[in-house]
Amino acid sequence: MAHAYLDDVKHYLLDLQDRLCRQLAEADGGATFREDAWERPEGGGGRSRVIEGGGVFEKGGVNFSHVHGDTLPPSATAARPELAGRGFHAVGVSWVLHPTNPHIPTSHGNVRFFIAEKTGEAPVWWFGGGYDLTPFYPVHEDVLHWHRVARDACAPFGDDVYARYKRWCDDYFYLKHRDETRGVGGLFFDDLNEGGFERCFAFQQAVGDSFLDAYLPIVERRRDTSWSERERAFQLYRRGRYVEFNLVWDRGTLFGLQSGGRTESILMSMPPVAEWHYGWTPEPGSAEERLYRDYLRPRDWLDEAQGDADE
């Protein structure tokens, strides 16, 4: 039964990778994804696809992986110690997009599925994933669009699902050492197995399938916005926060490294260029200060928007 589940999810994820790459390359208009297939000596492998130097994306990647082994890594059992010592299969698609234009947000997403197995016992399975948006020069209508698509994807699964996973995203993509969110959030869920396999799998598909509806309209609206070297410098500085989160806090990065995954693919999420400046602060009243003041904290974006509409 477990492997029937695995086959269904794997088929969906491979198709999702194909669709993401095709539509993102069409949106870019200047480059295509190149594929790098790889195998993991301990079991499994994947196919990494990277786009670089395009019309929109300075660097982006959409990776599929299926790895398996005799023992779950510590990062996978930290919250569920009862699974320690089980064999596992982990299959997923992850993507990260770093546009050249500072007015187009960086974005990340992934959808994944785990099965933990032990002889003589029923397999334990769960889903995880989500997506988040990291603007440098945010536009309020873009943030509202992003969260509306996320809310609509969650709506068939319960009235509280969007709010719950939106809060989880705010909490997860939070740089504790900086006391700021990575961006304006989105959705994040993990350890999902309530309601049966079919319902959980349908939710994973809803999240994966909604990403392009959330992201590509923002790309189209902002791709022709002119930008200055000052704005580019700020983008590179804020990309440093992206690196800090991935290397310090991200559980997916840790799982990949602990499980003996392919380092080149795991670190595909890193931006091609980033900068750090000691003690930098934004100028009062600047667009950069506005990002810090109004956007790098949890907000109930859609409730606030409804309140504005009611006034």
Residue list, annotated binding site: 94, 98, 108, 110-112, 147, 177, 260-262
Distances, alpha carbon 16 to alpha carbons 22, 102, 162, 209, in Å: 10, 27, 22, 8
Which entry of 66, 89, 103, 108 is annotated as an active-site residue? 108
Distance CA 187, CA 203 (A): 12
SS3 letters across 237-250: HHHHHHHHHHHHCC
Give the H/E segment covering residue 47: strand 44-52
124 Cβ contact partners less than 8 Å away, ≥ 6 residues apart: 83, 86, 115, 116, 117, 193
- 108 a catalytic residue: yes
Binding positions for a divalent metal cation: 98, 108, 147, 177
Residue 217 corresponds to which amino acid? P
Smallest Cα–Cα separation from 47: which of 3, 24, 14, 12? 14
Binding positions for substrate: 94, 110-112, 260-262
Give the angle 29-30-33 at the CA atoms, nearest 5°: 95
Q: Which two tokens stand for residue 309?
A: 């509409």
Distances, alpha carbon 131 to alpha carbons 5, 9, 215, 241, in Å: 23, 18, 10, 17
Give the angle 108-276-178 at the CA atoms, nearest 5°: 65
The residues carrying an active-site annotation are 108
